[in-house]
Amino acid sequence: MFSAFFASRKWRFWGWPGIFIIFGGLGCQVEIDVALNAGLGELFDLMQKGLGTPGSITLGDFDQTLIYLTKLILLYVFIAVMLGFYIKHWILRWREAMNDYYMRYWTVLRTIEGASQRVQEDTKRFAATIELIGASVIESLLTLIAFLPILWVISKNVKEVPLFGSLDHALVYIAILYALIGTIVLAGVGFKLPGLEFENQKAEAAYRKELVYAEDDPTRASPKVVHSLFQRLKNNYFRLFFHYMYFDVAKLSYLQFGIVVPFLALGPTVIAGAISLGMFAQTVRAFERIQTSFQVLVKNWASIIELISVYKRLRAFEAQIHLAQAAANPIS
C-alpha cells in the first residue's frame, strides 16, 4: 500500500513531494484562519464601540474591516479549492501505484476470494478514505499548533470558570480535557465496529463473487444460494446498524453538548464584565477551533472504521504476495 507509491522511482515526483505540498497548503489555510480570528475580534470590538457610543465609529471604519475579512475569505477559498484539486490527483496516483503493484502479482492473487473487489473497490475506498481523513488530521494538527498559543494567551483574561474555579489558562485545559474524555468514551463505545465492518465486507465479497460467476455460468447463483448469501449479508448489516445506533447516540450527544461548553466556561467572566465583545468572539472561535481539532477522530470515526477494515483486507491480500516472493527467492 505504501511502498508501491512512496518508495517507487516512478512516483518520486508525486509521493513525498505531494506530502510537503499538502502540508504547505493546509498551513496557509490555518494561517488565514488565525488572521480571520483576529479580524473578527476587531469587527466585534467596533460593533461594541458603535453600539455603546453612537457615532463613535464611521461607516468607513466598519467597511474597511469587512473588506479586509472578505479578502482573507477569498484567499482561503482559492487555496482550499486548488489544494483540494491537487489532493484528488495525488490520491488517484496513489491508487494507480497500488493497482499496478497488485496487477504484477495477479497470477498469485487471482485465486483469493474477492480478489477483483480488493484490486478495484478496496484500493478505491482506501484512496477515498485517506483523502477524507488524511487532510482532516493534518489540518487539525496544524490548527492546534496555531490556535493553542492564542487560546493560552487569551485565557489569561478568564479568571474563573465553573467547576475549576480560579485557574490560569483554564480554557486550554477544558478544551483538552473535554476532547480527551469524548475520544476515550467513543473509542470504548465503538470498539466492536471495525471487526463488524470487516466481516460485513467479507459477506459482500462472497455475494458479489457468486453473482460474477453467474454471469458466465447459468448454474451459479441459484435462488437458494443467493437467498443464503443475502441473508448472511442482511444479518451482518442488522448487527452493524444496531451497534452504530448506540454509537451515534454517544457521538451526537458529545458533539452537540460541546457547542455550549465554551459559553459555560466564559459565563462568570461575561457576568463580571471582564472581557470585551471582540475578545469574547475571538475566545469562543479559538476554543471551537481547538475543540474541533481534538474531535477529528470522533467526527471521522465511521470513516476510520472503514479505513481499518480496508487496511486489514489489503494487508491480508499483500501477505500472499510476500509468500510468493519468499517461495520464489528461498533463503539458501
Task: Kindly report, residue by residue over 299-310, the tens digit of the pLDDT.
Answer: 777 788 778 878
Q: What is the dihedral of CA 254, 138, 90, 309, to 10 degrees?
A: -50
The percentage of the chain sitting over the pLDDT mark of 90, rounded to a whole number, equals 18
pLDDT value of residue 314: 84
Q: Tell me how far apart the alpha carbons of residues 297 and 306 are, in angstroms, rounded to a whole number.
A: 13
Does domain 3-327 bear CATH number 3.40.50.10800? no
Task: Kindly report, residue by residue over 56-92, the tens digit of the pLDDT.
Answer: 888 888 899 999 999 999 999 999 999 999 999 999 9
pLDDT value of residue 332: 43
Average pLDDT, the chain: 85
Query: How far is the CA of 16 from the CAs of 1, 9, 90, 128, in angstroms?
Result: 14, 11, 10, 18
Measured over the CA atoms of residue 13, residue 14, residue 16 and residue 20, the dihedral's sign is positive
286, 151 Cβ separation under 8 angstroms: yes
Per-residue pLDDT at 1 exceeds 80: no
**pLDDT-based confidence at 35, cuts 50/70/90?**
very high
Angle at 259 between CA 73 and CA 193, to 5 degrees: 100
Cα Rg, the chain, nearest whole Å: 26
Nearest to 123 by CA among 330, 315, 332: 315
Q: Tell me how far apart the alpha carbons of residues 330 and 332 are, in angstroms, rounded to a whole number.
A: 6
**pLDDT-based confidence at 247, cuts 50/70/90?**
confident
pLDDT value of residue 24: 94
- Average pLDDT estimate for 242-253: 88
pLDDT value of residue 87: 92
* CA 214 remoteness from chain centre: 39
pLDDT value of residue 214: 86
The percentage of the chain sitting over the pLDDT mark of 70, rounded to a whole number, equals 98
According to the per-residue pLDDT averaged within each range, which of 39-53, 72-86, 149-163, 256-270 is highest?
A: 72-86
**pLDDT-based confidence at 328, cuts 50/70/90?**
low
Alpha helices, H only, the chain: 3-6, 15-52, 59-104, 106-109, 115-117, 123-154, 170-189, 193-216, 223-258, 261-271, 277-294, 296-299, 301-328
Q: Tell me how far apart the alpha carbons of residues 94 and 12 are, in angstroms, rounded to a whole number.
A: 11
153, 287 Cβ separation under 8 angstroms: no
